[in-house]
Structure 1
Amino acid sequence: MVRFENVGLRYGLGPEVLRDLTFGIDPHSFQFLTGPSGAGKTSLLKLLFLSLRPTRGLVTVFDHDTARLTKDELSILRRRIGIVFQDFRLLDHLTTYENVALPLRVMGKEEASYRSEVVDLLEWVGLGHRIDAYPPILSGGEKQRAAIARAVIVRPEMLLADEPTGNVDPPLAKRLLRLFVELNRTGTAVLIATHDLSLLEQVEARRLIIQQGSISIIDPNGEEDERW
């Protein structure tokens, strides 16, 4: 699904923030992305979401060399990827329901075909009572849950989540993690960037560890993965 080969990234004339990244993400896989603050986790997520191009190296997504794609072609590929941003990126003029349903509307679906699914998902993430509320009056945790619901409603082929449980209490964090696990079981590859060590203990999953711009990989058995 994704292949990085000797990828490096720098901003402007500064030093490389990511260097010599070589790894792959398989279809239907589940992994955590961890590492200290400033190590490059968010930059890696942006490369995976195709909102950044690498400074050097090869990034292949869904069998496409991203360096050869136009902006329009990259945009089409991004529709196959769901992402949960740390800053939520909800639209203030839309209700919670409308924000979550927006990807389906963009795809041209009729509301009658998806309304019950959106409502059910909002109930599941604890936002059933906020369905008609606008983002400015939502708490940080409520915005986080709405952003997650919006990302998973289209059942993307790959889901990227940047600290998706950072604004919720532990019981709800566990429930949201279960949502990601269930989505993975239906076929979506999931990558969760997190500082929350308790999440890592709840799911046996591959760990991608970023340190000082480089990556190491630990398989679910706690051994270093040499495949890449």
Structure 2
Amino acid sequence: MIRFENVGLRYGMGPEVLRDISFRIDAGSFQFLTGPSGAGKTSLMRLLFLALKPTRGLITMFGHDVSRLSRSDLPTVRRRIGVIFQDFRLLDHLTTYENVALPLRVIGKAESDYRTDVVELLHWVGLGDRMHVHPPVLSGGEKQRASIARAVITQPELLLADEPTGNVDPTLARRLLRLFMELHRLGTTVVIATHDIGLMDQYDARRFVLNEGRMHIYD
């Protein structure tokens, strides 16, 4: 599904924040991305979401050379990806329910076809009584859960989660990880960026470890 070959990334004229990154991610796999603060985890996730293009090297996703994708091609490819951002990116003028349902509306589904699924997922992540309020009144943890629900509601081919359990308590963190594992069982490829070693130790999954812009892989 994804292949990086000698990828480098720099911002402007600054030093490379990622250097000679090479790896492959097979369809239906599950992996963690970890490393110290400033190691480049978020930059790598932005490359995977096609928010950035590499300064050098080759990235292939879903059979496409990323550097050759036109601006008009990007929305089609991105619809195959669910993303959980650290800054949530919820739309303040939409309710929690409407934010979570938005990816389904974008692809043209009728509300009668998805309402039950959205409501059920909101209850599952503990937002059943918050579905009709707007993001400004949600806590950080509630916004995180709404962002997670929005990312998984379409059962994407690829799920990218940047510190998805950073604003929730350990019990809810384990519950959310079970949700990601269930999506993986159904065929979704999952990449979770986290610094929580204890959380990773609970799962038998490959680890990509970034340190000073370079990657080590532990199967």
SS class of match (1:129): coil
The whole-number CA distance in structure 2 between the counterparts of 1:114 and 1:198 is 36
Residue identity in the other structure for 2:3 = R
Which stretches of structure 1, 4 residues or more, deviate above 3 A after TM superposition? none
Residues 49-83 of structure 1: per-residue CA shift (max 9 Å, x gap): 00100000000000100111101112211110010
Residue 34 of structure 1 aligns with an amino acid whose one-letter code is: T
Residue number in structure 1 paired with 2:181: 181
Name the structure 1 match of 2:169. Answer: 169
Matches within 5 A, 1:56-205: 56-205=56-205
Secondary structure, counterpart of 1:202 in structure 2: coil
- C-alpha distance in 2, partners of 1:97/1:78? 22
* 1:43 and 2:67 are equivalent in the alignment: no
Match of 1:224 in 2: none
Q: How far, CA to CA, are the matches of 1:131 and 1:198 in structure 2?
A: 31
Structure 1 residue 121: Cα displacement: 0.3
3-state SS in 2 of match to 1:93: coil
Would you say the 8 A contact 1:66–1:74 is kept in 2? no
| Structure 1 unpaired stretches of 5+ | 220-228
RMSD: 0.5
Q: Which residue of 2 is the match for residue 29 of structure 1?
A: 29
Distance in 2 between residues matched to 1:119 and 1:202, nearest whole Å: 29
Corresponding residue pairs, total: 219
Q: Return 5+ residue gaps in structure 2 as ranges.
A: none
Q: CA deviation at 1:133?
A: 1.0
* 2:12 partner SS: coil
CA offset digits 1:1-29 (Å, max 9, x no partner): 00000000000001100010010111000
SS in structure 1 at match of 2:77: helix
Give me the whole-angstrom Cα distance separating, in 2, the residues matched to 1:218 and 1:115.
Answer: 41
The secondary structure found in structure 2 opposite 1:21 is strand
Query: Which SS does the other structure have where 2:195 is aligned?
Result: coil
Partner of 1:215: 215
Distance 1:56 1:87 in 2: 27
CA distance in 2, matches of 1:133, 1:209: 39
Letter in 1 for 2:181: V
Query: 1:11, 1:42 → 2: CA distance?
Result: 13
Normalising by structure 2, report the TM-score. Answer: 0.99
SS of corresponding position for 2:72 = helix
Query: Per-residue displacement from partner, 1:121-153 (whole Å, max 9, x unpaired)?
Result: 000000001010110000000000000000000
| Matches of 2:69 and 2:99, distance apart in 1 | 29
User: Corresponding residue for 1:222?
Assistant: none
Distance 1:57 1:95 in 2: 41
